[in-house]
Amino acid sequence: MLTLGSTSITIVAVIGVVALAALLVAATLRRQVLAAPEGTPGMQDIARGVQEGAAAYLNRQFRTLALFAVVVFALLFLLPGDGGVRIGRSIAFLVGAGFSAAIGYLGMWLAVRANVRVAAAAMDGRTGRQEGARIAFRTGGVVGMCVVGLGLLGASLVVLVYRADAPAVLEGFGFGAALLAMFMRVGGGIFTKAADVGADLVGKVEQGIPEDDPRNAATIADNVGDNVGDCAGMAADLFESYAVTLVAALILGKAAMGEQGLVFPLIVTAIGAFVALLGVIVTRVRGNENGLAAINRGFYISAVVGAVLAAIAAFVYLPGSFDQLAGTADLGDVTADPRVVASLAVLIGVVLAGVILWITGYFTGTTSKPTLHVAATSRTGAATVVLSGIGVGFESAVYTAGIIAASILGVFLLAGGSIWLALFLVALAGCGLLTTVGVIVAMDTFGPVSDNAQGIAEMSGDVDGEGAQILTDLDAVGNTTKAITKGIAIATAVLAATALFGSYADAVETALRDVSAVGGGLVTSMLSYEIISPVTLVGVILGGATVFLFSGLAIDAVTRAAGAIVFEVRRQFREHPGIMTYEERPEYGKVVDICTRDSLRELATPGLLAAFAPIAVGFGLGVGPLAGFLAGTIGAGVLMAIFLANSGGAWDNAKKIVEDGAYGGKGSEAHAATVIGDTVGDPFKDTAGPAINPLIKVMNLVSLLIAPAVVMLSVPEDANHGVRIGIAVVAALIAFGAVVLSRVRAARVDRESEATEAERVATR
């Protein structure tokens, strides 16, 4: 039985103190952001509308999800395991879900107050660029420090209370964080892109008015969506990546290195608190410097410092030989120095983050060849813009996935062929990547805050000339930083999922140790991990197919919700002609209500699919095919997520290039073509693509949690195939029943839309 020594307990306690210190730093940065001027009364009035809409949406979303969380809390008690661990796991689930929700709400709350302050800062042409960038980045810094603080606080408290049983309890913590993040990603993504697509199609294309023109009824909803989708959703997403990677690292660390393996991942992630603070401090725009250059500089400085501090920690805490470690897994004849391999694994994770930052910036930046090419295709119409963006997405997915694969291979080579050590080092690489999570969250929040700032400025009409150009430049930087952070988030998802894959194998192996005989025939095939087995290959195919189905459901949900927005905005322009002459005020609240209603209505289907598909596969086909299912999910998920994110980012910035004057500028045919491309890309990059990250981890965690039960019901001594098949059938009915209901709902919406349009034509 593994026990923690007094030194390790002291270190974990200190890490808890570091977590509290990170939260105090976040509170200090928050005060600095809120101390900035709020601008003119007109700006404040618009910002207030965005604040009210965002708060109303998240409050309704959390009420909807609270019941779901209570049901899952109860179901976790039914899983096999020690009574104390089951209680702790269920409570940790609620804590993880609560922390994820709190991070999301905090990200939204501060962003909708920082946006107006960035707009106000831009009014001073002399210092506006530096001050606006500082406010936007420090807003993200607050959220980043909270991600680090709450993640470390939850993990360190569980380790202090449960000691050697902490990994099993933390499965609940990670599951709660991942499940809430997925729902927030899907719901927020549907909200933001329904409003954005509706606003662009009617405002820009049909009415020929600017993007954030106050005459467009969807503008407030669009700005609300930026915050509930990008700020709240991404903050929750990165928090769950942080939590899930820690869970996997602690499970595998216990197996590979014993006590030191359980504590060292916490030390590495605690270093992230110092790295995040350093990143916030050093990221400053100098003179007329491009904001992206300052952000990249801050990121790379922080990353290097994080890698160095992690190496120092490894050489101070870890012993010089694996013979001095007491892990439960058989590592074979590993002769390497654990301090060296741990340091190099962390370094690989840090380097991976930096390389993905560069690759994503190359494929989506406004000055890069791929995005310039997409903008150039606007001269021949929307079709070529869409095709070129798809090509950019496909190509970038290959390079990014290749870099992630190379990182995993490098870690495997470090392990000298030991599978268990390699899996632990993959988790450590994920921890290394997440030492920069505070800076990553700051980079991501920079995007929606600067986007909202430009919208508030345009709607109020109080910022023009040089100030307007400053906000345009910051918005373009924000588009690139959002794309970059999506790429890094995908990398964290893959590393975490790969590590969880190993944790799943550990759970299966542990369950099989308690089995006297596994029998033969069909049962043996169900427990086999061999990819050559047809039933395992079936699992691989089903895993990849689930990613495609999930993505299709998310994009289709945006399509339906956006259609409702288009009809509503058209109705307001048609029935209230005074809107175009500024004599009437649009009914912004109706569009916000439609987005809220539709996004929450569409929330359940993808979530139920993610939670119940692995249950159906696991209990129906066995732990071997379920392993194949997870492999298919990871492989298809990484490619799909990168493709969707980078295609969307390229389309968005191609539109910015044309709006800045290329190929005829605003109002030209080229501009209309890039608007169509951006409209296609919106649900790609902000709904389906980002939601795949938590999807992969939710399905891995569900598989990890059910693995012992699947083994118990499959092997001869405890076999109950009737119960096993019954569970599989019920899970399949829930997952695919939700899909069928979604299709029925879509058909009903189509009929209602046709009736509305027919009535409009008849009354002309």
pLDDT tens per residue, range 62-111 = 887 888 788 888 888 777 667 777 888 888 889 998 998 888 888 888 88
Whole-Å CA distances, 236 to 508, 525, 608, 682: 29, 39, 19, 20
Q: How far is residue 489's CA from residue 434's CA, in Å, rounded to a whole number?
A: 10
Measured in degrees and rounded to the nearest 5, phi and psi for residue 216 equal: -85, 120
358-362, 395-399, 612-616: segment of lowest average pLDDT: 358-362
Cα atoms found within 13 Å of the Cα of residue 73, Cβ hemisphere only: 16
Helices assigned H by DSSP within 514-581: 522-526, 534-575
Tell me the mean pLDDT in the region 240-259. Answer: 82
Q: Which residue has the higher pLDDT, 758 or 282?
A: 282
- Whether 718 shows a pLDDT value over 60: the answer reads no
Which conformational region is residue 5 in: left (phi greater than 0), alpha (psi within -120 to 50 degrees), or beta? beta
Pull the structure tokens for residue 5: 């020594």
Residue 183 identity (one-letter amino acid): F
Pull the structure tokens for residue 355: 């390389």
Residue 720 neighbours by CB distance under 10 Å: 12
Residue 524 pLDDT level (bands cut at 50, 70, 90)? low
Q: How far is residue 762's CA from residue 764's CA, in Å, rounded to a whole number?
A: 6
3-state secondary structure of 1: coil
Tell me the mean pLDDT in the region 352-368. Answer: 84
Pull the structure tokens for residue 516: 């006297």
Q: Give the residue from 276, 277, 346 showing the smallest Cα distance to 317.
A: 346
123 Cβ neighbours under 8 A, 6+ residues apart: 39, 462, 463, 467
Q: How far is residue 252's CA from residue 411's CA, in Å, rounded to a whole number?
A: 14
550 Cβ neighbours under 8 A, 6+ residues apart: 606, 609, 610, 688, 691, 692, 695
Whole-Å CA distances, 495 to 255, 283, 352, 424: 18, 27, 11, 11
Q: Give the residue from 33, 647, 502, 17 showing the smallest Cα distance to 280.
A: 33
How much is the pLDDT for 717? 57
Tell how far CA 511 is from the center of its chain.
32
Q: How far is residue 406's CA from residue 429's CA, in Å, rounded to a whole number?
A: 12
Q: In whole numbers, what is the pLDDT of the chain averaged over residues? A: 83
Which conformational region is residue 465 in: left (phi greater than 0), alpha (psi within -120 to 50 degrees), or beta? left
Tell me the mean pLDDT in the region 235-251. Answer: 82
Q: How far is residue 351's CA from residue 368's CA, in Å, rounded to a whole number?
A: 22
Tell how far CA 617 is from the center of its chain.
25
Whole-Å CA distances, 639 to 16, 547, 681: 37, 10, 16
- 306, 466 Cβ separation under 8 angstroms: no
Residue 363 identity (one-letter amino acid): F
DSSP state of 217: T
34-38, 193-197, 471-475, 508-512: segment of lowest average pLDDT: 508-512
- 558, 196 Cβ separation under 8 angstroms: no
- 672, 688 Cβ separation under 8 angstroms: no
- 732, 542 Cβ separation under 8 angstroms: no
- 271, 124 Cβ separation under 8 angstroms: no
- Whether 326 shows a pLDDT value over 80: the answer reads no
Tell me the mean pLDDT in the region 127-137. Answer: 82
Q: How far is residue 61's CA from residue 165's CA, in Å, rounded to a whole number?
A: 33
- Give me the numbers of helices (H) and strands (E) for the chain, helices first please: 23, 0
DSSP state of 287: T
Q: Where are the beta strands (DSSP E) in 335-449?
A: none
Residue 18 pLDDT level (bands cut at 50, 70, 90)? very high
Whole-Å CA distances, 169 to 93, 250, 293: 9, 11, 42
DSSP state of 122: T
How much is the pLDDT for 568? 85
Rg (CA), the chain: 25
pLDDT per residue over 150-190, tens digit each? 988 988 898 888 877 788 888 888 888 888 888 888 888 88
How much is the pLDDT for 380? 92
Q: How far is residue 732's CA from residue 229's CA, in Å, rounded to a whole number?
A: 29
- 608, 586 Cβ separation under 8 angstroms: no
392 Cβ neighbours under 8 A, 6+ residues apart: 363, 370, 371, 373, 374, 646, 647, 650
Tell how far CA 643 is from the center of its chain.
15
- Whether 224 shows a pLDDT value over 90: the answer reads no
How much is the pLDDT for 516? 55
Measured in degrees and rounded to the nearest 5, phi and psi for residue 299 equal: -65, -50
Residue 374 pLDDT level (bands cut at 50, 70, 90)? very high
DSSP state of 577: G
Q: What share of the chain is helix, strand, coil (3-state, %, to 5)?
A: 85, 0, 15
Q: Give the residue from 611, 598, 706 showing the smallest Cα distance to 182.
A: 611
28-37, 154-163, 490-499, 509-518: segment of lowest average pLDDT: 509-518
- 182, 72 Cβ separation under 8 angstroms: no
Q: How far is residue 206's CA from residue 573's CA, in Å, rounded to a whole number?
A: 11
